[in-house]
Structure formats: C-alpha cells, structure tokens
Amino acid sequence: AQSVTQLGSHVSVSEGALVLLRCNYSSSVPPYLFWYVQYPNQGLQLLLKYTTGATLVKGINGFEAEFKKSETSFHLTKPSAHMSDAAEYFCAVGTINFGNEKLTFGTGTRLTIIP
Amino acid sequence: SQTIHQWPATLVQPVGSPLSLECTVEGTSNPNLYWYRQAAGRGLQLLFYSVGIGQISSEVPQNLSASRPQDRQFILSSKKLLLSDSGFYLCAWNTATSGMETQYFGPGTRLLVL
C-alpha cells in the first residue's frame, strides 16, 4: 500500500520569495515520485518526477525536488516565486505492477503568490 | 506527438439523469487509460483503469461504470447520477514507450449534478 501526505492545503508566499511545498510518502516498495501542477479549470501537468538515480530532480518552470529516503520526503522548491506559479500542486507516489501503474495522489496544496 | 481529448468540458445534469463522458488519445497505440475524479477540496481519486480493449478494473465501488470500446477510447458512464457524482473528471494515459511510470492527463470535464 502507498500513501501521500501534503502538509498545508494552502501556502502563500511573496513574489520573489522561496517556495517550499511539502510532501511525505509511504510505500512498501521503492517508489516513483511525482509533482503535478494544475492551473484553474485545467488538467494536471507533470512538473517533475523521480524514478531512479540522482535524488535531486529538476523540473519545468524552475522547480526542483529532492528525494530523501531516510525522511520519506519529496519536497518541492523554487528559489524565487513568480506570479505565474499560482496554482494547485499535487504530489503523487506510484508503483509499477506488471505494466499497470497506479498513482496515489496527495490532497493538493494551493499556492498563492502575493504581489 | 500524443494528445488526449475529453468532452464535454463542462456538464450540468439533473439528479437521476444518465451520464456519458468520453476520452480519446491520439498518437499512440495500446495505451493504459485511467479515469480519476477530483471532488471539491479533495485530491484525485482513481476510479477505473484499463490496460486494453474491454478490460476494465474498478478501484472503488460507486455509481459509475467505464468501458473501452476501442483501443484509444475510454468512456465513463452512469445510468442515474447522484449529487455526490459532482466533480472534476480527469482522464489519463501512459504506455511503455512514454515511460510506464508517468501518466499524462487530459483537460478534464467539470460535472455539476443538481
């Protein structure tokens, strides 16, 4: 079984400030980890993913996340927030089972950027 | 390149009416297909997934059903809608060539049941 916890359903940061969105997971097998972003009334767009290899993963729009196995975390960061970053962000954990993948999503974090 | 379509984009239906939401994928063959529901203030819940034509797995018991009549078509249905069926429905896909671990999402259908 796998699960994802996103701490903070709403996060507000000032434009130009550091963005930190927290995600902790549990998985009985080595996980695949994802961050998706959802803009209003749109589907989900893949921001970045960790599968194997380097634990610091860089994604689109200047975001990055670090897989920390000891802390079972995959927090999302961006050094300097931009107004266009305002959206909802979902962390997800996945496993592959005979070619059938299941993703378990967190409940999401709504990011607001303060001008 | 691959694209995924969902329609309608928005739907308002009365309680007790039937439902049919359609999802199609272009530019790939034999995709895995998924239906998710995003209820207000909640995360995404996997409803159904399909690894091939006529193969449907249900994740949670509910008032909905899914069908896959063609390789790249995935349909979500209900005979009688409930108020609790309101939400944002997302279709997703992946294949071995796209990277099996990653799912790609469509634009979604917003359903309001009154």
At B99 the pLDDT is: 66
Q: Could you tell me the two tokens for A62?
A: 């200047």
> Which pLDDT score is estimated for B42?
72
Distance CA B30, CA A103 (A): 19
List of E strands, chain B: 3-7, 10-13, 19-26, 32-38, 44-52, 55-58, 65-70, 73-78, 87-94, 104-105, 109-113
Nearest neighbour of A101 by CB, restricted to B103, B107, B108: B103
Chain B 62-81, residues with CB within 8 Å of chain A CB atoms? none
How far is the CA of A11 from the CAs of A21, A90, A111, B35, B52, in angstroms?
8, 13, 5, 28, 40
Query: What average pLDDT score do residues B39-66 get?
Result: 86
Whether A100 sits inside 8 A of B110 (CB atoms) is no
The partner residue sitting opposite A105, judged by closest CB among B43, B106, B108, is: B43
| CA–CA min distance B17, chain A (Å) | 24
Q: What is the pLDDT of residue A98?
A: 56
Decide if pLDDT at B101 tops 60: yes
Q: Give the residue from B51, B55, B103, B104 with the most A CB atoms within 10 Å of its CB, the best one to mutate.
A: B103
> What is the C-alpha to C-alpha distance for residues B18 and A111, in angstroms, rounded to an integer?
36
Q: Is the pLDDT assigned to residue B79 strictly greater than 80?
A: yes
Check whether B61 has a pLDDT greater than 80.
no
Interface test with A, best of B30, B102, B109, B110 (most A CBs within 10 A): B102
Q: Which two tokens stand for residue A43?
A: 């589907």
B49/A contact by beta carbon, under 8 A = yes
Evaluate whether B88 touches B110 at the Cβ level (below 8 Å): yes
- In this prediction, residues B31-48 reach a mean pLDDT of 86
B44 has a chain A CB within 8 A of its CB: yes
Residue B103 DSSP symbol: -
A60 touches chain B (CB under 8 A): no
Please count the other Cβ atoms lying within 10 Å of the Cβ belonging to residue B98. Answer: 15
pLDDT band at A101 (very low <50, low <70, confident <90, very high): low
**What local confidence, expressed as pLDDT, does residue B98 receive?**
66
CB contacts of A36 in chain B (<8 Å) are: 105
